[in-house]
Amino acid sequence: MADTIFIKNLLIRGIIGINPDERVNKQDILINIEMQADTSPAAQSDDIVHAVNYRTITKKVIKLVEDTSYFLVEKLVQEIANVCLENQQVAKVRVTVEKPGAIRFAESVGITIERTRDAA
């Protein structure tokens, strides 16, 4: 059974990009995460020990974005997927990273990837 746990529209400021101003000035980074996991053990026990703790994962993602300065969104989105897959209950993750306002006339640009535990 695969249930979906999601973190929607997590907005963090960080250094990402190849242009000189992007290497100095923090910009908005919008993140969406969907994790596939069996939530039935947590539903049955009503105990956080059996759940995917999305608060813990969110804190790790925030720390990653704030403490790193990758050149490419491709690298950041992969590292966020790796953070999610550190949790042994997460079998599959879908991560979208967007840079709002990065391109003139576009609301946002970004990348979506899917990774599984087997591929991690």
User: Cα–Cα distances in Å, from 76 out to 7, 49, 79, 95, 98?
Assistant: 16, 28, 5, 10, 10
C-alpha to C-alpha distance for 88 and 76, rounded to whole angstroms? 21
Q: What is the pLDDT of residue 2?
A: 84
Q: pLDDT digit string (tens) for 76-107?
A: 999 999 999 999 999 999 999 999 988 999 99
Is 92 known to be catalytic? no
Structural domains in the chain plus CATH codes: 3-119 (3.30.1130.10)
- What is the rounded average pLDDT of the residues 11-37? 96
Q: Region 64-86: what's the mean pLDDT?
A: 97
Q: How far is CA 55 from CA 28, 67, 87, 94, in A?
A: 20, 18, 12, 17
Any alpha helices (H) in 6-72, and if so which ranges? 40-45, 54-67
The answer to whether residues 7 and 32 touch, using CB atoms and an 8 Å cutoff, is yes
Look at residue 72 and tell me whether its pLDDT is greater than 70: yes
Q: Which of 26, 63, 75, 99 is catalytic?
A: 99
For the residues 18-40, what does the mean pLDDT come to?
96
pLDDT given for residue 1 in this prediction: 61
